[in-house]
Amino acid sequence: MKESYNWILNRLPYTEPFLFVNEIRHVDAKGVEGTYRFSPDADFYKGHFKNNPVSPGVILTECCAQIGLVCLGMYLLGKESEIGNMAIGMSSSQMEFLQPVFPGERVRVVSELVYFRFQKIKCEVKMYNEDDKLVCKGVLAGMIGTANE
């Protein structure tokens, strides 16, 4: 039976329209894999770009951060961590964009943990499209922990 990671999804500090995680396929102490489908009705497509909408790089980065940093960090902190006091923030990003992501496309994010210590988390992330082509890749870092730490 497939393990459920709904406890992580239910504790994410995001809601529509700024939630970019649909599913966590796998997570362990070394990394996480999750998916997101970009709604063709998302407001940012209306102006990016005229008559040829694509997902903005900043949104692709955010999707990678929500899956690759936040979901993994929550897993590493554990089910028993006090989510009400959760403090999350991205401190750095270095991304390379290789393919466009169009409205309605589903992407898969794979994140490998570089380190998690002193509430700082750093990961190497890769995003793939539905054809399993690499869309973007990079290194993201942030802080995650409870606010009283």
Taking only the tens place, the pLDDT of each residue in 74-129 is 999 887 666 556 778 889 999 999 999 999 999 999 999 999 998 899 999 999 99
Distance (Å, whole) CA 61 – CA 135 = 11
Q: Tell me which amino acid residue 40 is.
A: P
Question: What CATH number does the domain located at 6-146 have?
Answer: 3.10.129.10
Distance (Å, whole) CA 77 – CA 83 = 10
Distance (Å, whole) CA 76 – CA 144 = 10
Give the tens place of pLDDT for each residue, 6-25. 999 998 989 999 999 999 99
Whether pTM > 0.95 for this model: the answer is no
Q: Which helix (H) or strand (E) holds 119?
A: none
Q: Which helix (H) or strand (E) holds 50?
A: none
Instruction: Specify which residues 55 forms β-bridges with.
Output: none
Distance (Å, whole) CA 25 – CA 66 = 14
Distance (Å, whole) CA 74 – CA 96 = 25
CB 104 within 8 A of CB 86: no
Token pair for 68:
């690759």
